[in-house]
Amino acid sequence: MVDLIHGDDAAAVNALRSAVMRLSRRLKHQRVDESLSPTEMSVLGTLARCGSATPGELARKEHVQPPSMTRIVTLLEGKGLVKLEPHPDDRRQKVVTGTERAAAMLEESRRKRNAFLAGLVEGLDEDEWAKLREAAPVLEKLAHL
């Protein structure tokens, strides 16, 4: 389908890409802990959404190589944001779980980013805000395809 997009649709795709990237960059600046990389925050978010996982499972979900995930998990463990426990079925593996500190940090991050977006939304008229509310589930679907 991508090869078939021309004219107005191609312009819309380009505008969507550009807007999503700019908004994403602005949201990334709304960080609670500047010592964590975006990848580290993403791993904590994945653990919060999906529950405990092995480093290999996390690497697949985050689209990074397993050795990179091992380094990330080690850094997060050193910061007290994850704990490692023996795998219940395979003692050669570990299971990574987010800590209460990580959950509190993620909640504060969500609160700060939501407040930032709410401030932006105040600049929209009611029609624009209604369209954005309707688009949110579609954008969510795109994010997970």
Write out pLDDT tens, residues 44-78. 999 999 999 999 999 999 999 999 999 999 999 99
**How, if at all, do strands 94-98 and 82-86 pair?**
antiparallel
pTM strictly above 0.85: no
Q: What distance in Å separates the CA atoms of residue 105 and residue 10, rounded to the nearest whole number? A: 39
pLDDT in tens, 73-119: 999 999 999 999 998 888 888 999 999 999 999 999 999 999 999 99
**Domain layout of the chain by residue ranges:** 31-143
What's the CATH architecture for 31-143? Orthogonal Bundle (1.10)
